Structure 1
Amino acid sequence: MTFLKLLKPEAVKVVAAASSKKRLMHDIAELAETAYGVRAPLAVEALMERESLGPTGVGHGVALPHARLSGLDAVRGVFILLEKPVEFESVDRQPVDVVMALFAPEDAGVEHLKALALVSRTLRDTTLCNKLRANPDPATLHALLTEGRASQAA
């Protein structure tokens, strides 16, 4: 599993602000629809259902929302950088501005877990997160996330 396989360049976006966590989930779903053809209403529903089990804000301004969806052939990612952080009920109670969402096929067992582990491990890197926050250009963000990580296996 690599970031290159998870994240298309067109699945990276900078958003000025999200008025709420739910609005952010809609932004994620709309981006996933554009990049991967998933149905946005189903994606929002799946993300919110997963959030109801426990928030996916992992701390330090990072959130990793994820959900399983029918119709996908592989695990897919969406990356959003928020210019203005949004409250996300994170473990450290800090608002979120770096968001990497994952969508997995319903039967994606271990691949979903590998992708989550890769993303979690990568976004724990404070230096990388600082670079992401300092470069509000989608192409640059994609490059930062994928370069040097193409051969990392989870």
Structure 2
Amino acid sequence: MEISSILKPEAVKVISAAFSKKRLLNEMGEIAQSVYGLDAAKAIDALLERESLGPTGVGRGVALPHARVEGIDKVLGIFVMLEQPVDFESVDRQPVDLAFALFAPKEDGVEHLKALARVSRTLRDENICQKLRANGDAATLYTILTEDQSVQAA
């Protein structure tokens, strides 16, 4: 699975005003609505419900919030870079500045897991994270996220 198949360029944002985990998840829900037409409240509730099971901050400043939602037929992604890192209750207790959210169909299993694995592999790559953090332009961030996967696969 390629990141470009789940992430639209307009779903990549640089955010300066998310000062908490909850505010970040709210921003992601609003992006899901404006880019993919998801109901923002349902998207936010789904993310918060998933977070209640255990934080999705995976360490080294990266979070992978994800949720299953009604009314979609494929996995959808949102990438956000925060100008000010927020506490995300990550496994390493480090604040998060890179977050990639995934929304999967309610009944989907395999595609959701493939997407989560792909995004996780990408954001575990320290070189990619360094490139992302060195850029503040959403179009450049999208290019980094989608171009580096072909290099990894080779």
Quote the residue 1:51 is aligned against.
51
Give 3-state SS (helix, strand or coil) of 2:14's partner.
Answer: strand
Q: State the one-letter code of the partner of 2:130.
A: N
CA shift at 1:150, angstroms? 5.3
1:21 is matched with 21
TM-score by length of 2: 0.96
Structure 2's unaligned 5+ residue stretches are none
Give the 3-state SS of the residue equivalent to 2:25 in structure 1.
helix
* In structure 1, C-alpha distance between the alignment counterparts of 2:9 and 2:93, rounded to whole Å: 30
1: CA distance between counterparts of 2:152 and 2:116? 13
CA distance in 2, matches of 1:147, 1:19: 30
AA partner of residue 76 (structure 1): L
Percent identical among aligned pairs is 64
- Counterpart position of 1:114: 114
Tell me the secondary structure at the aligned position of residue 41 of structure 1.
helix
Question: Which structure is higher in RCO with an 8 Å CA cutoff and minimum separation 6?
Answer: 1
Q: Find the aligned partners of 1:131 and 1:148 in 2 and give their Cα distance.
A: 10
Whole-angstrom CA distance in 1 between matches of 2:89 and 2:34:
27
Distance 1:123 1:149 in 2: 11
Partner SS, residue 35 of structure 1 = helix
Deviations 1:44-70 (A, max 9, x none): 100000000000000000000000011
Q: Distance in 2 between matches of 1:114 and 1:105?
A: 13
For 2:39, give the aligned amino acid: R
> Secondary structure of 1:8's partner?
strand
Please give the TM-score of this superposition, normalised by the length of structure 1.
0.96
Distance 1:151 1:3 in 2: 13
How far has the Cα of 1:151 moved from its partner?
A: 9.0
Root mean square deviation, CA, Å: 1.3
Give the drift of 1:15. Answer: 0.3
After TM superposition, give the deviation of residue 18 of structure 1 in Å: 1.1
Query: Tell me, what secondary structure is at the counterpart of 2:94?
Result: coil
Residue type of the alignment partner of 1:61: G
For the residue of structure 1 that corresponds to 2:104, the secondary structure is strand
Show the counterpart of 1:144.
Answer: 144
In structure 1, runs of 5+ residues without a counterpart are none
User: Could you tell me whether the CA contact under 8 Å between 1:12 and 1:142 is conserved in 2?
Assistant: yes
- Residue 149 of structure 1 deviates from its aligned partner by 2.0
**1:81 paired residue number:** 81
User: Structure 1's 36 and 103: CA in aligned 2 closer, same or farther, altered over 3 A?
Assistant: same
For the 8 Å contact 1:17–1:86, the answer to whether it is kept is: no
- Specify the code of the residue in structure 2 equivalent to 1:93: R
User: 1:65 maps to what in 2?
Assistant: 65
